[in-house]
Amino acid sequence: MGYTREEPVERTSLFNHLETMPGDPIFGLMTQYAKDPAEFKASLTIGVYRDEEGKPWVLPTVKKVEKMIAEDAATNHEYLPMEGLPAFVKAAQDLLFGNPSAALSSRIGSLQTISGTGAVHLGARFLNDSLHPKRIWVSDPTWGNHHAIFDIAAPEVEQKLYPYYDAETCSLNFSGMMKTLEEEAQAGDLILLHACAHNPTGIDPTKEQWKQIADLCEKKKLFPFFDSAYQGFASGDVDEDAWAVRHFISRGTLELVVAQSFSKNFGLYGQRVGAFHIVAGDEQARDKALSHLIYLQRAEISNPPVYGARIVAWILQTPELKAEWEQDLLIMSGRIKTMRAALYAELQKLQTPGSWEHIVNQNGMFSYTGLSEKQVLALRKEHIYLLTSGRASISGLNRDNVALVAKAIDKVVRASGDAPAPAITA
């Protein structure tokens, strides 16, 4: 029986009405960088730690524990409970809240999530369903994915921006932030706060300013939603980087939630290790809230992954390993501080127009350089890649490229005639 070829049929799809969604600008820029054939090029884009050779760095403590897990006869691949690996959840609580007292522990409900992104998503959906807020106040700017997460998980919650970055001085616009929240925020609104190492600006409030923000939340009855993605990675001290969260809780009057990530401080980017915490008014409210969170978790992922959580729990619950990990944190945070100082020194040496002190005054992985979109696009012709907002990932700098990066910045700033944060003259 012969085969009869059918005539071509014009096909249509039920999905042709869809508009193509924009790609992620960071990952798109990484692809552009990878295709650049230049011998010298530098990527200051994605927020991942790189060593002095510009390569991914697996923490020595993590390597040690991976070997221990592989050799442990008790290791298996069974499902975790829906709330996650118990040892990990307890370790995450202790790291964030500082070994909380029994009284505080009775108010804290926690579960393991798909990294910090999953924690923010879970929190957005939970608060949308339980508190029915009308608005969430988000810093201008913030991590771009914050907006997308709330668009999807809490589409009826209006996203409002509070001033954060002062482009004239490349510093925190604290007065603008407080004025806007004081005049426009309403009781029951959510407020999204970065616990430390603000992404993308690298600018954090001082402790005194954090106290004033907590005062305002109490007075205005705002509900704090902390995103803690860089604990220990910003200052090198896990307790210092948790200060804001702990201060809010110490008030005893504020209920709040925290999304916690272990991607940066353990270098476990691909393992997606995170936790979500709620601090409720009492134990009964904690238990009810946790039951709803577990219900949502069951519907979305059922059970979180085990491998990365085992690594974190093993390290944090073994004093010797935790001490070694804290030294790893100092290596990472210290190298980034060194690179900030080096870039600033090179720009000073070149007498690049403008004041660049903000680079060393900011902290954490990112710097809002103050470079304009036009200058950033000009830098790409020099094979230097950063976001059009001017955000640079400082970990992309090293001793071999920092001088060349500074020269490229000097070149485009002089060519444009527009200097970031102009020096104030007497």
Domains identified in the chain and CATH numbers: 25-57+329-416 (3.90.1150.10), 62-317 (3.40.640.10)
**Two tokens at 11?**
């096909």
Q: Which of 189, 227, 241, 328 is catalytic?
A: 227
Global model pTM greater than 0.85: yes
Q: Which of 57, 264, 314, 328 is catalytic?
A: 264
Question: Which stretch of DSSP H or E encloses residue 376?
Answer: helix 373-381
Who contacts 134 (Cβ-Cβ below 8 Å, separation ≥6)? Answer: 157, 158, 186, 188, 189
Listed residue (317, 335, 406) closest to 86, CA to CA: 317
Q: Which of 143, 210, 314, 356 is catalytic?
A: 143
Beta strands in 158-272, from DSSP E residues, in sequence order = 158-163, 165-166, 171-172, 190-194, 223-228, 256-261
- From the CB of residue 33, how many other CB atoms can be counted at a distance below 10 Å? 20
CA atoms within 13 A on the CB side of 162: 25
Q: Are 265 and 232 in contact (CB under 8 A)?
A: yes
Listed residue (363, 409, 415, 416) closest to 390, CA to CA: 409
Q: Are 119 and 149 in contact (CB under 8 A)?
A: no
Beta strands in 141-189, from DSSP E residues, in sequence order = 158-163, 165-166, 171-172
Interstrand relation of 171-172 and 165-166 (parallel, antiparallel or unpaired): antiparallel
Has 239 been annotated as catalytic?
A: no
Has 325 been annotated as catalytic?
A: no
What is the signed CA dihedral for 408, 342, 336, 63, rounded to 10 degrees?
100
- Terminal CA-CA length for the chain: 95
Task: Give the residues across from 165 on adjacent strands.
Answer: 172
Each residue's pLDDT tens digit in the chain (426 positions)?
A: 566 666 676 778 999 999 998 887 788 888 888 898 888 889 998 888 999 988 999 999 999 999 999 999 889 999 999 999 999 999 999 999 998 888 899 999 999 999 999 999 999 999 999 999 999 999 999 998 999 999 999 999 999 999 999 998 899 999 999 999 999 999 999 999 999 999 999 999 999 999 999 999 999 999 999 999 999 988 999 999 999 999 999 999 999 999 999 999 999 999 999 999 999 999 999 999 999 999 999 999 999 999 999 999 999 999 999 999 999 999 999 999 999 999 999 999 999 998 899 999 999 999 999 999 999 999 999 999 999 899 999 999 999 999 999 999 999 999 987 777 654 332
Has 264 been annotated as catalytic?
A: yes
Interstrand relation of 190-194 and 135-140 (parallel, antiparallel or unpaired): parallel
Listed residue (391, 261, 313, 344) closest to 80, CA to CA: 313
Task: Give the residues across from 140 on adjacent strands.
Answer: 163
